[in-house]
């Protein structure tokens, strides 16, 4: 029996795929070669229809989104108990509760949740590229309290509906989910202080956390290497309209890309959470990311 | 005691049912049934010693226990019996959906019939199966061929008899609202498969009564690139795709029928042409897909050039 599932939770475009590439490389038997980005078999995403249907024995496609959500906790409990896949499962759903009071992601199925967050000023840009929409639209989406992925009811989607909520509510839902064991990391620390941050992530996830292993895996999933692989052979997780998935990965891109109005709107929508996680300074001005020791 | 028994013929089986199953064609044949469908008690907890067990289905040799929360529990046994116990307040329409899906699929597995997860479309005296996972576009494609005058033998559950022929299934297609719109089918006149989802039953006016040999199988999938790709699958390579596109493989494994299934797959592999078609996942591009398939069928000599 396994001891539960490790979730890799994040709002989209916050460093989840990079984390999965890191884990895949860390667990790779041949540390001298990079793992192919098209075979990052770290574990199914929580909203993967196939992963759900394999436990159901009938088609989830004949159920409504709300009906499926009611079945999800039992499915995750089953996977946690029976499937010894040692998987690290990505999840973009916010940490929400069902109408019956049960958590969508049950605590008893969870070994831990690594929550990866990124400055919403940078997320807005990356999310716009990913969704093939304007930056203003992605800012609007990030501020929408009931924003969802795959919520279309007129056709079948490969993934189940995911309630993302607003960016702030997404962060708070996971960061404050006191019934589960969790570690919150910031993308900016993963970029700027990689070794220390990934070492903490490894310790939390029960992965090898010695300096040698972490550094080799980090080298193998360096952003330029992921970009190069995508250029050479494409990336199956890229959205169709999207020019490339591994685009810039840059910290602080907002300083060059966003207009003052766009920055104001994001700060206005998310100031409480931005302040809490060091994306606003003492005077309430946006910053890339305050050093961790200055984040209360 | 039930007041009435309904007699049906589908999937090559004579079915006697206490539940009315409207999409099935009523049959005059009231002789010994291959399958009976009855109302009765079905355990809340499942089977005694299941080989595979989840909160929703359990399997052991010759038995499936299926639990669709708030709809019904089903016990499917020995390839000839389905017992249904409805949850209070559930609707018949929803119950029928699972009867004609996982339950009938399991009956066919138990009878050692190969069941592909696909749609079968008639081309002359033969048929072609479009297989793939849920959402791959099987029904949409079948509906498009239907619009072009082809008859449909099976939707989703595709039973292949010992001679490598498809046994006609339900005389209907299940179509999502968006797919219907693309095909210019007005859903205003159609019934939803369940009230809770925007998926519709498209009845097929004419139905095929004879079994037709399978000439080719296409496995549908998609990628994030802009072009179509068609890969011919030959020899031993045919085996895994057939296995992976078997209907409800997860249930079949727990029924202890893996060896028999292996044999059925290799037998079919020797009889058919197999190809994988990968379409762009950005928009369905139905017209191009149809043309690609028709060209390939001509090349294979399945339809006249």
Q: What is the pLDDT of residue B282?
A: 80
Find where tokens 């040799």 sit.
B61
Nearest alpha carbon to residue A261 among A164, A129, A145, A124: A124
CA distance A152 to chain B (A): 10
**pLDDT confidence band for B297 (50 / 70 / 90):** very high
Q: Distance between CA atoms of B23 and B257, rounded to whole angstroms?
A: 29
Q: Residue A238's closest chain B neighbor by CA?
A: B224
Nearest alpha carbon to residue B114 among B56, B154, B67: B154
Q: What is the pLDDT of residue B2?
A: 53
**Helix (H) or strand (E) run with residue B231 in it:** strand B229-233
CA distance A1 to chain B (A): 14
CA atoms within 13 A on the CB side of B253: 11
Cβ within 8 Å, pair B54-A57? yes
CA distance B206 to chain A (A): 25
Q: Does A291 touch chain B (CB under 8 A)?
A: no
CA atoms within 13 A on the CB side of A229: 21
Q: Distance between CA atoms of B102 and B107, rounded to whole angstroms?
A: 9
Nearest-CB residue to A58 (from B98, B281, B282): B98
Q: What is the pLDDT of residue B205?
A: 79
- Map out the domains of chain B as residue ranges: 6-111, 115-299
Contact B94, B71 (CB under 8 A): yes
Q: What is the pLDDT of residue B11?
A: 95
Report pLDDT digits (tens) over B144-160.
999 999 999 999 999 99
pLDDT at B284 over 80: no
- How is residue A91 written in tokens? 């999840």
CA distance A48 to chain B (A): 12
- Candidates 3.90.1150, 1.10.357, 3.40.50, 2.60.40; CATH matching B115-299: 3.40.50
Q: What is the pLDDT of residue A230?
A: 93
Cβ within 8 Å, pair B133-A50? yes
Q: Does A294 touch chain B (CB under 8 A)?
A: no
Cβ within 8 Å, pair A71-B135? no
Nearest alpha carbon to residue B183 among B192, B172, B175, B191: B175
Q: What is the pLDDT of residue A118?
A: 98
Angle, alpha carbons B84-B87-B89 (nearest 5°) = 125
Strands A148-149, A110-117: parallel, antiparallel or unpaired by DSSP? unpaired
Cβ within 8 Å, pair A63-B98? no
CB contacts, 8 Å: B224 with chain A: 234, 236, 238-240
What does the mean pLDDT of chain B come to?
Answer: 94
Q: Residue A245's closest chain B neighbor by CA?
A: B224
Compute the count of residue pairs across chains A and B with CB atoms less than 8 Å apart. Answer: 84
Q: What is the pLDDT of residue B304?
A: 87
Interface subset of B 7-26, CB within 8 angstroms of A: none
Q: What is the pLDDT of residue A1?
A: 38
CATH of domain A5-119+157-240: 3.40.50.300
Q: What is the pLDDT of residue B207?
A: 78
Q: Give the pTM.
A: 0.94
Q: Distance between CA atoms of B206 and A23, rounded to whole angstroms?
A: 55
Nearest alpha carbon to residue B104 among B242, B206, B12: B12
**pLDDT confidence band for B208 (50 / 70 / 90):** confident
CB contacts, 8 Å: A74 with chain B: 55-56
Nearest alpha carbon to residue B212 among B100, B123, B116: B123
Q: What is the pLDDT of residue B281?
A: 83
Q: Distance between CA atoms of A164 and B217, rounded to whole angstroms?
A: 39
Q: Residue B174's closest chain A neighbor by CA?
A: A62
- Which residues lie across from B15 on neighbouring strands? B8, B35
CB contacts, 8 Å: B197 with chain A: 62-64, 153
Query: Cβ neighbours of residue B244 under 8 Å, at least 6 residues apart?
Result: none
DSSP string, B119-179: EEEEETTEEEEEE-STTSSHHHHHHHHHHTT--EEESSEEEE-TTSEEEP--SEEEEEHHH
Low-confidence stretches of chain A (pLDDT < 50) are: 1
| Mean predicted confidence (pLDDT) in B60-79 | 97
Report pLDDT digits (tens) over A56-79.
999 999 999 999 999 999 999 999
Report how far Cα B109 is from the mean position of its chain's Cα atoms.
12
Higher pLDDT, B284 or B288: B288
- How is residue A60 written in tokens? 């989830």
């Amino acid at each position: 029996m396994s001891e539960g599932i490790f979730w890799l939770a994040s709002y989209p475009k916050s460093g989840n795929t990079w984390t999965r590439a890191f884990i895949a490389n860390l667990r790779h038997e041949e540390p001298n070669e990079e793992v192919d980005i098209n075979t990052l078999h770290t574990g199914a995403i929580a909203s993967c229809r196939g992963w759900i249907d394999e436990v159901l024995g009938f088609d989830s496609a004949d159920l409504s989104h709300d009906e499926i959500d009611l079945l999800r906790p039992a499915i995750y409990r089953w996977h946690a108990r029976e499937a010894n896949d040692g998987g690290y499962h990505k999840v973009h759903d916010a940490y929400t509760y069902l109408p019956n009071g049960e958590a969508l992601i049950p605590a008893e199925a969870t070994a831990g949740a690594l929550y990866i967050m990124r400055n919403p000023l940078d997320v807005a840009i990356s999310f716009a590229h990913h969704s093939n929409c304007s930056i203003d639209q992605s800012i609007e989406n990030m501020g929408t309290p009931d924003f969802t992925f795959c919520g279309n009811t007129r056709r079948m989607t490969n993934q189940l509906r995911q309630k993302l909520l607003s960016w702030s509510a997404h962060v708070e839902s996971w960061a404050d989910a006191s019934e589960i064991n969790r570690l919150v990391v910031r993308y900016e620390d993963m970029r700027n202080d990689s070794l220390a941050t990934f070492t903490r992530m490894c310790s939390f996830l029960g992965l090898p956390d010695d300096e040698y292993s972490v550094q080799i895996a980090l080298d193998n999933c360096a952003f330029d290497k992921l970009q190069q692989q995508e250029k050479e052979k494409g990336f199956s997780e890229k959205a169709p309209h999207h020019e490339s998935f591994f685009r810039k990965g840059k910290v602080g891109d907002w300083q060059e890309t966003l207009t003052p109005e766009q920055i104001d709107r994001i700060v206005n929508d998310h100031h409480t959470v931005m302040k809490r996680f060091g994306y606003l300074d003492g005077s309430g001005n946006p910053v890339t990311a305050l050093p961790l020791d200055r984040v209360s | 005691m039930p007041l009435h028994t309904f007699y049906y013929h589908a999937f090559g089986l004579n079915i006697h049912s206490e539940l009315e199953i409207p999409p099935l064609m009523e049959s005059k044949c009231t002789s010994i049934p291959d399958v009976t469908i009855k109302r009765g008690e079905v355990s809340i907890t499942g089977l005694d010693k299941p080989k595979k067990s989840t909160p929703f289905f359990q399997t052991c040799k010759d038995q499936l226990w299926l639990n669709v929360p708030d709809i019904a529990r089903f016990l499917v046994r020995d390839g000839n019996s389905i017992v249904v116990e409805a949850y209070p307040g559930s609707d018949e329409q929803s119950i029928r959906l699972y009867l004609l899906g996982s339950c009938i699929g399991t009956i066919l597995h138990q009878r050692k019939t190969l069941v592909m997860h696909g749609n079968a479309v008639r081309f002359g005296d033969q048929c072609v199966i479009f297989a793939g996972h849920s959402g791959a576009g099987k029904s949409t494609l079948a509906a498009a061929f239907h619009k072009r005058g082809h008859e449909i033998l099976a939707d989703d559950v595709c039973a292949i008899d010992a001679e490598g022929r498809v046994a006609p299934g339900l005389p209907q297609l299940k179509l999502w609202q968006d797919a219907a719109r693309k095909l210019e089918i007005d859903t205003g006149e159609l019934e939803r498969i369940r009230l809770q989802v925007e998926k519709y039953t498209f009845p097929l006016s004419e139905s095929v009564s004879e079994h037709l040999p399978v000439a080719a199988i296409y496995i549908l999938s998609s990628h994030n690139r802009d072009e179509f790709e068609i890969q011919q699958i030959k020899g031993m390579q045919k085996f895994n795709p057939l296995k992976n596109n078997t209907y409800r493989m997860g249930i079949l494994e727990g029924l202890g029928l893996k060896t028999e299934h292996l044999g059925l797959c290799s037998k079919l592999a020797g009889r058919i042409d197999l190809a994988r078609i990968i379409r762009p996942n950005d928009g369905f591009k139905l017209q191009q897909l149809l043309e690609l398939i028709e060209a390939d069928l001509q090349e294979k000599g399945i339809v006249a050039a």
